[in-house]
Amino acid sequence: MAISYRYDTDKNMMWSSVTGTLTTEDIIAHIDRLFENNIRLQGLIEMIDMNRVGDVIIRHSDLFAIREKTAQLAQSGHKISIVFCSVPRGKEILQVMGPIFNQITVTVHICDTPEEALAYADALVYTRSDIDGSEKKGA
């Protein structure tokens, strides 16, 4: 599995890491695991570390399957994925993945460093009603 993650239940934040070659099957399996492991997707912020990705193998014909899976995430309340990468190879891969990001229904924000990604996540403000129907809250 090219994608691993840890989940902080208190902050409703997930730290995912991509290692080696990323494939369509890895993306779909990752999303399936979130549903299987009962991750609270409503208001979820996912931080994705792409610093150790070596290559991406995603066929154009797979974009529909990826879009369908990410639509399930969006319908479940997943707010945003914040992708960060500071190594040149990973940045090249992120540029190639641009059309993929354009096809998915979850918001994707790209940063250079984990610190920049954290600052972006901290700046996000959700209302409590986004999560459970009550008053305003900061992220």
pLDDT digits (tens, 9 = 90+) for 38-78: 888 888 889 999 889 888 888 888 888 888 888 888 888 88
Q: Which of 43, 42, 14, 10 is nearest to 30 (CA)?
A: 14
- Superfamily for domain range 3-131: STAS domain (3.30.750.24)
Beta bridge partners of 48: 16, 83
H/E/C letters for each residue in 42-99? CCCEEEEEEEEEEEEECCHHHHHHHHHHHHHHHHCCCCEEEEECCCHHHHHHHHHCHH
pLDDT over 90 (residue 138): no
Mark 55-72 as b/e (b = at least 16 C-beta within 10 Å): ebebeeebbeebeebbeb
- pLDDT for position 5: 94
pLDDT digits (tens, 9 = 90+) for 113-130: 888 888 888 777 444 344
- Where do the structural domains in the chain lie, given as residue ranges? 3-131
Question: 43, 130 in Cβ contact below 8 A?
Answer: yes
- pLDDT for position 16: 93
pLDDT digits (tens, 9 = 90+) for 82-120: 888 888 877 777 777 777 777 676 778 888 888 888 888
Contacting residues for 36 by C-beta, under 8 A, at least 6 apart: none
